[in-house]
Structure 1
Amino acid sequence: MLRLAVLILLLANAGYYAWSQGLLRTWGLAPATQSEPERLERQLNPDALKLLSAQSPQPAEADEPEPAEAAASAPATPPTPSSTQCLQAGSFDERQAAALRQAAATLPSGSWTLDAVVVPGRWMVYMGRFADAEAVDKKRTELRALGIAYDRPGAALEPGLSLGRFSSEERAQVALRDLARQGVRTARVVVERAEAKAYTLRLPAVDAQLRTQLDALQGALAGKPLAACN
């Protein structure tokens, strides 16, 4: 039985080899031919095929809108508002503010304001006025000997000496008493600057049109430039 099985296996292998190599083609036994002529016969409309290179233009897709249609369907862009800038100038005293109000009256209503702030007064412990510069130098020598600091009082109180500036008259009087205990006899308290109002011109939204009208303010600005708001 074993010999018979081996013989049958050998015959089967030999038959498969002869079939796969086309040796049995004359009896109609052979695998299907895959050579080039048979493939060409199975092609459908080969003359309709075209080769496209990478540079060849691609056909437009049917659902892509034309440029005119795309422009028409795009939402309208809202106009950009004109830019504005806040400008200010100051400070101005009462007289200057009055002239500025008159000049600014030619500008559009609501385009400007004059903002007032109270400038507090200031007091000084003062020595003077002296007869001349020689008298001032003599007094400086005496103060240095007492160890007391001094300063120039400003043009309105020359020739003289300042022994201190204070934000209230009460503080200045206290300082004067302390100086008297140190040997200062001829000093007194004076008002260096009285309490007053100061004004700032403010234009919160200057656009291109308003900027062309600001020349009307130049004569009333007292040489103070318009600058960006703080």
Structure 2
Amino acid sequence: MLRWVITLLVLANAGFYAWTHGHLSALGFAPSEQREPERLQAQIQPETMHLLNAPEPQKPASEPAAEPPAPATTPAEAARAAPAGPTAPTTPPAPAVPTEPLLPPTSCWYAKGFTTAQIEPLEKRLLDLALPKGSWRIQEVRSGGRWVVYMGRYNDELMDKKKEELKELKVEFRTLNDPPLGPGLALGTFSTEAAAEQGLSNVARKGVRSARVAKDREETVTHTLRLSEITAEEREAVLRLGPEFLAGKSLQPCG
């Protein structure tokens, strides 16, 4: 049964092929030809179709009128018309800081031992030099009087004898060679007369009988010139005053 069905299908396909290709035209079984105008008329024309409730098409904007060509520019005009490129930000210069002028180096010098009679004319001459204020000053130095428990004056023979006696009494002493007290012996040195009187009492209790209180040095007043901040040029100006005003004193560096 299946074989007959397949055979019929093959025969049907062969007959359809022969019919469509015009092999059966002699038997009056030619297929009908469809001409191009008729086919085109039968086609649906999509451009004639309209959608219901469709929005109206927008009218195309009118094309802008063509601009006239720009006139040719010279290179110089193009350079002037070209926008300037961005410039780097410039940092304003820092304000100038005033600097103090360099001062010459200074040093410290002094001379001491001036008496009142010597220092007064020297001070006047220093004022005439117009040295900077505060660069020099004059200091007064007071040395108080000095007292000793004294024995003397002795010749050499008597000096040796008194020394032996003091050693036996275990009393300390020192030899005075310079006048007005020398040659003699000092059994103690004191800054006040009252202290010297007390020292005399102490040695008297030890057996000393010939001692007394004597003034070894009078109270003195001297002056010191101190040039604390002077330049080398100012120091030379002071030295040019000479021994007449410096009284033979030399300037020494401050220690």
Structure 1 residue ranges, 4+ long, deviating more than 6 angstroms after superposition: 73-76
1:179 is aligned to 2:239:
no
Contact 1:143 1:149 in 2 (8 A): yes
Distance 1:155 1:98, change over 3 A: farther
Residue of 120, 126, 129 corresponding to 2:150? 126
Distance (Å, rounded) in 2 between the aligned partners of 1:177 and 1:186: 12
Q: Which residue of 1 aligns with 2:251?
A: 226
Q: Which amino acid aligns with 1:155?
A: D
Q: Which residue of 2 aligns with 1:216?
A: 240
Q: Which residue of 2 aligns with 1:142?
A: 165
What is the TM-score of this pair, normalised by structure 2? 0.54
Residue of 111, 114, 127 corresponding to 1:89? 111
Distance 1:102 1:81, change over 3 A: closer
Alignment of 1:108-127 (within 5 A): 108=130, 110=133, 112-127=136-151
Number of equivalent positions? 163
Distance 1:76 1:118, change over 3 A: closer
Q: Which has the larger radius of gyration?
A: 2
Contact 1:117 1:197 in 2 (8 A): yes
Q: Which residue of 2 aligns with 1:161?
A: 185
Distance 1:162 1:209, change over 3 A: same
Distance (Å, rounded) in 2 between the aligned partners of 1:104 and 1:135: 54
| Root mean square deviation, CA, Å | 3.1
Distance (Å, rounded) in 1 between the aligned partners of 2:143 and 2:151: 25
Sequence identity (%): 39
Greater alpha carbon shift after TM alignment, 215-224 vs 186-195: 215-224
* Shift in Å, 1:81: 1.2
* Shift in Å, 1:100: 4.0
Q: Which residue of 1 aligns with 2:230?
A: 206
In the TM superposition, what whole-angstrom CA distance separates every residue of 1:80-135 from its partner, at most 9, and x where no partner exists?
A: 111222221113333443464466455326554321022122111111112x2221
Greater alpha carbon shift after TM alignment, 211-220 vs 161-170: 211-220
Q: Which amino acid aligns with 1:212?
A: E
Distance 1:114 1:75, change over 3 A: closer
In structure 2, runs of 5+ residues without a counterpart are 1-87, 89-94
Q: Which amino acid aligns with 2:158?
A: A
Distance 1:221 1:185, change over 3 A: farther
In structure 1, runs of 5+ residues without a counterpart are 1-62, 64-72
In the TM superposition, what whole-angstrom CA distance separates every residue of 1:24-62 from its partner, at most 9, and x where no partner exists?
A: xxxxxxxxxxxxxxxxxxxxxxxxxxxxxxxxxxxxxxx
Contact 1:153 1:161 in 2 (8 A): yes
* Shift in Å, 1:198: 2.1
* Shift in Å, 1:162: 0.7
- Secondary structure (helix, strand or coil) at the match of 1:225 reads coil
Q: Which amino acid aligns with 1:141?
A: E
* Shift in Å, 1:202: 1.3
